[in-house]
């Protein structure tokens, strides 16, 4: 009788240990499955920053790295685990990511944006691509069709949510943005700024609609493009912008935003964004981009400024 009791106790103990182990596995699997898998397209300064942050801080915030792609895959060697390197971008769907982040070039948005949205939420790090009205419309329609969110990061845009609220209320009348940088920080098409000399001072390079400006400086005016998205009723043709080369701006970029509403309402903001000579993106924009990524958890089939 005593022997039977001992056997029963041992059996019960073993059974309880097994149940606890199964529960632990289920919890671990649930935790893992609830993490957002992030695919990063582009491994320039911003792409490297995001990959480092995801690896360092992501697990505690529910983010894991799904893949990293770069046009020159050799740049990833030794910096990204081989199993996370995506050699062929057209096979991105195999990685089953929840969010794909483009921090590469507007051309990638044009070539893969619709495919990305068919599988994942898509954060457009080069929103200047949206200046193309046909592409803009197709991406918006794809977001609605697939129930995915097309995220547009605010970047260096100060007060983007306020601009969007004013727009959504139907009260925005005008929006103007001026970006001033050292000439070494511009990446322009053509020969607009090939003749600059140190000490020449301030030179207005272009003033006009954001739709006209984006093709001229696709890598420099993403903040302006984000503003055009926020002020959707004005759009890329209605929002006005100006880019200024200034050799005095050796330590920062300057972003000025002027918003006009009804009955004399107006807001004028000036943001000085620390930046090294030759840097396309100001240092404060990196953390802004990271914070935007943390928002990308699904906001339905629409375009969303984050």
CATH number reported for the structural domain that contains residue 140 in this entry? 3.40.50.720
Give the residue numbers spanning the domain of 123.
Answer: 36-76+84-156+287-305
Write the CATH number for 204. 3.30.360.10
pLDDT at 13: 46
Q: The whole model's pTM is what?
A: 0.83
Q: In sequence order, what DSSP letters do the residues of the chain get, joined into one string?
A: -HHHHHHHHHHHHHHHHHHHHHHHHHHHHHHHHHSEEEEEE--SHHHHHHHHHHHHHHHHHTEEEEEEE-SSGGGGTTTS-GGGB-S-GGGGGGG--SEEEE-S-HHHHHHHHHHHHHHSEEEES-GGGGGSHHHHHHHHHHHHHHT--EEE--TT-TTHHHHHHHHHTT---EEEEEEEE-GGG---STTTTTT--TT--EEEEEEEEHHHHHHHSTTT-HHHHHHHHHTTTTHHHHSEEEEEEETT-SSEEEEEEEEE-STT-EEEEEEEEE--TT-SS-HHHHHHHHHHHHH-S---SSEEE-
| Statement: residue 33 has pLDDT above 80 | no
Q: Do 140 and 112 fall within a single domain?
A: yes
**Measured distance between the N- and C-terminal CA atoms of the chain, rounded to whole angstroms:** 70
The pLDDT value recorded for residue 282 is: 82
The string of pLDDT tens digits covering residues 266-283 is 999 999 999 999 888 888
Summarised one tens digit per residue, pLDDT across range 164-184 is: 999 999 999 999 999 999 999
Domain co-membership, 102 together with 184: no
Residues 111 and 253 in one domain: no
Taking the C-alpha atoms of residue 237 and residue 131, their distance in angstroms, rounded to an integer, is 8
Same domain, 121 and 170: no
């Amino acid at each position: 009788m005593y022997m039977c009791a001992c056997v029963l106790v041992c059996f019960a103990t073993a059974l309880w240990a097994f149940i606890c182990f199964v529960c632990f596995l289920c919890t671990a699997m649930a935790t893992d499955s609830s993490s957002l898998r992030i695919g990063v397209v582009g491994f320039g300064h911003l792409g490297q920053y995001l990959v480092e942050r995801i690896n360092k801080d992501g697990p505690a915030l529910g983010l894991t790295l799904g893949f990293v792609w770069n046009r020159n895959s050799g740049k990833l060697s030794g910096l990204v685990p081989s199993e996370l390197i995506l050699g062929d971008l057209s096979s991105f769907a195999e990685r089953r990511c929840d969010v794909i982040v483009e921090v590469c070039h507007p051309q990638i948005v044009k070539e893969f944006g619709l495919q990305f949205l068919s599988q994942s939420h898509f954060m457009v790090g080069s929103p200047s691509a949206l200046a193309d009205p046909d592409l803009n419309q197709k991406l918006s329609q794809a977001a609605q069709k697939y129930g995915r969110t097309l995220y547009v990061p605010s970047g260096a845009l100060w007060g983007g949510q306020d601009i969007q609220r004013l727009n959504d209320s139907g009260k925005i009348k005008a929006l103007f943005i001026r970006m001033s940088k050292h000439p070494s920080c511009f990446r322009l098409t053509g020969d607009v700024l090939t003749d600059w000399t140190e000490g020449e001072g301030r030179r207005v390079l272009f003033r006009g609609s954001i739709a006209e400006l984006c093709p001229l400086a696709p890598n420099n005016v993403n903040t302006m493009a984000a503003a055009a998205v926020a002020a959707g009723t004005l759009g890329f043709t209605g929002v006005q912008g100006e880019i200024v080369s200034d050799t005095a701006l050796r330590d920062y970029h300057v972003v000025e935003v002027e918003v006009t509403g009804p009955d004399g309402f107006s807001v004028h903001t000036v943001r000085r964004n620390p930046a090294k000579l030759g840097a396309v993106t100001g240092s404060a924009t990196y953390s802004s981009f990271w914070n935007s990524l943390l928002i990308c958890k699904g906001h339905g089939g629409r375009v969303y400024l984050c």
